[in-house]
Amino acid sequence: MRKFLAVLDARNKEFLRDRSALAWNLVFPILVILGFSFAFSGQSQDVFKVGLIKDPSVPSQITEFLKTDYIQFVDQNNLDAALGKLRRHQIDMIVSDTASYWINSTSPKGYLLEKILKGTVSDSSSRSNSLSKQTVQGKEIRYVDWLVSGLLGMNIMFSALFGVGYTIVRYRKNGVLKRLKATPLGAFEFLCAQVFSRLILLVGTSVVVFYGCHLLIKFQVIGTYWNLFLVLTLGSICLISLGLLIASRIASEEFAGGVLNLISWPMMFLSGVWFSLEGAHPIVQSAAQAFPLTHVIGASRAIMTEGADLSQVGPHLLVLTCMSVVFLLVGALTFKWE
């Protein structure tokens, strides 16, 4: 017991004397709470998202439906674009002022919204008869088809950030990097080697996870596998480079873990992994564009669910390429061996 208490006391003192780690463990939970309170603030949390097609030339026939609580109405200027969002489960229903509505027959939320819409106009038989139902055209996309690209991206993110960033910090703390400094190896060469080493592991595990899930779930991939492979590879390079940048100077494993959590958790919730940001606060949507994971998921999801080619996801690929170059160069220039 004396040995246990001695080790416990030493570890507690080590943590308390590491002021950066101590401060981070106090500040990080507060930042998370403040961030989510801002992103999801409001008097009530909306359950459904409905795309609204306005027609100023006719009086609205869905006034009562628009007053329904817990439904977020998102203005849509283009019906074709809105139908694409409906297929991809970014919105749950589309309704127009003329009482025409569109639903995705595979969406449980669309089924419930249809019942609510009919209930709000049931007081008038003429208005009830004016309802015009349509379902989305083409092959419908299940939620799992929409979700799988987000899960792949999230798996790559955690493996890249923690598998590389945390490891290099441990190397620095244990003196491994100090020994490497005495060799002719340069910082840029060392970091590039780390990128490609982790990239081989990430690509291999991602391929196994992808095909394993595909055999079990049978999710659809409309685009080409090579395009998807290129996007995931470029996304892996970008996220690995970000992990290297974070670990370029940090010497404390606890502090490194806090910084990695600060970056990974907002990306996981605001990059479209679990739910669409359609209708979210404009500041949240703009902030999401600064995350590499947003572009990885956006490009891979477009290929899988829309059959997009490389030219259509070109903006995402350009952003990921620029981020990778910047992260790697800045990490090499600021790298600290000791």
Residue 128's pLDDT is 46
Q: Give the pLDDT of residue 322.
A: 92
Of 135, 165, 194, the domain-final residue: 135
Please tell me whether residues 201 and 263 are part of one structural domain.
Answer: yes
Residue-wise pLDDT for 123-178, tens only, equals 554 444 567 787 775 555 666 777 788 888 888 888 888 877 777 887 788 887 78
Average pLDDT, stretch 30-57?
66
From 61, 58, 57, 56, select the one nearest 75 (Cα to Cα). 56
Q: Which residue, 135, 168, 185, sits at the end of a domain? A: 135
Vertex 142: Cα angle to 136 and 144 (nearest 5): 155
Q: Do 150 and 97 sit in the same domain of this protein?
A: no
Quote the pLDDT of residue 125. 45
Terminal Cα distance for the chain, rounded: 36
Q: What span, in angstroms and rounded, lies between the C-alpha atoms of 133 and 223?
A: 30
Are 242 and 270 within one domain?
Answer: yes
Average pLDDT over residues 181-201: 76
Indicate if 186 and 234 belong to the same structural domain: yes
Query: Is pLDDT above 70 for 3?
Result: no
Do 124 and 163 fall within a single domain?
no
Do residues 181 and 236 both lie within one domain?
A: yes
User: Percent of the chain beyond pLDDT 90?
Assistant: 3
Q: Look at the alpha carbons of 194, 195, 198, 204 in this order and tell me if their dihedral is positive or negative.
A: negative
Please tell me the predicted confidence (pLDDT) of residue 123.
54
Q: How high is the mean pLDDT of the chain?
A: 77
Residue 55, pLDDT > 60, answer: yes
- Count of other CB atoms within 10 angstroms of residue 275: 15
Closest alpha carbon to 130 in 59, 52, 57: 59
pLDDT at 224: 86
Of residues 153, 178, 172, the one with CA closest to residue 298: 153
Q: Looking at residues 32-60, what average pLDDT do you find?
A: 68
Q: Is the pLDDT score of 289 beyond 80?
A: yes
The pLDDT of residue 22 is above 70 = no
Domain count, the chain: 2
Co-location of 185 and 316 in the same domain: yes
pLDDT of residue 318: 93
Residue numbers of the domain that contains 104:
48-135
Say if residue 298's pLDDT is above 60.
yes
Between residues 203 and 5, which one has the greater pLDDT?
203
Average pLDDT over residues 103-112: 82
